[in-house]
């Protein structure tokens, strides 16, 4: 793509210039025109995971990819959401996560992307709250019970040191 072309992402299609493409077709075109990597946002992180031929541990744990690197036919997918969040909290905001209680609001792909990095920071505990308790419980199960699940209504009276909005 030339520098003056604009990539606009809409809910179900990607527009390159004036032409609409599906996710895979748009990435294929981008690669064919010399693209060497891409950052991916919602709602395409799941499709990017499927598109990648190899995944980092973070991407596998999240089942989502926000960074693609192209090398011939090889496509490496990574998820840097959690690493970026933890770096921002600890380095830029100077918030120590170790020993802190953390509430993560939401139980979707963003939550799956940040939980591994939050766990590595060794907090006292992480609670994932969601409108659908089942989705929060799915996250709890996916991370081997290392996080707790809650509905929003069950949070009344609880206190947290850090709240992450992942909705």
For residue 60, what are its two tokens? 């596998």
Closest CA to 86 of 123, 64, 128, 117: 117
**CA nearest to 95, candidates 104, 105, 85, 82:** 85
Classify residue 124 by its DSSP letter. Answer: S
Q: Identify the active-site residue in 27, 45, 58, 61.
A: 45
Strands 162-165, 101-105: parallel, antiparallel or unpaired by DSSP?
parallel
SS3 123: coil
Nearest to 127 by CA among 160, 99, 149: 149
User: Known catalytic residue: 45?
Assistant: yes
Q: Are 79 and 65 in contact (CB under 8 A)?
A: yes
In the numeric block, which tokens belong to residue 148?
A: 């707790």
Residues annotated catalytic, as ranges:
45
């Amino acid at each position: 793509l030339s520098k003056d072309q604009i990539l606009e992402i809409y809910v179900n299609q990607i527009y390159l210039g004036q032409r609409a493409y599906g996710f895979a077709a748009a990435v294929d075109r981008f690669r064919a025109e010399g693209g060497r990597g891409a950052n991916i946002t919602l709602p395409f992180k799941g499709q990017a995971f499927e598109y990648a031929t190899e995944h980092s541990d973070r991407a596998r744990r999240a089942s989502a990819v926000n960074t693609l690197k192209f090398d011939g036919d090889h496509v490496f997918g990574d998820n840097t959401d959690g690493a970026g969040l933890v770096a921002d909290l600890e380095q830029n905001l100077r918030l120590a996560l170790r020993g802190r209680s953390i509430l993560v609001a939401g139980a979707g792909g963003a939550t799956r992307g940040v939980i591994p990095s939050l766990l590595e920071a060794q907090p006292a505990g992480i609670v994932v709250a969601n409108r659908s308790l089942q989705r929060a419980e799915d996250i709890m199960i996916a991370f081997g019970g290392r996080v707790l699940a809650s509905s929003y209504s069950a949070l009344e009276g609880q206190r947290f040191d850090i709240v992450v909005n992942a909705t």
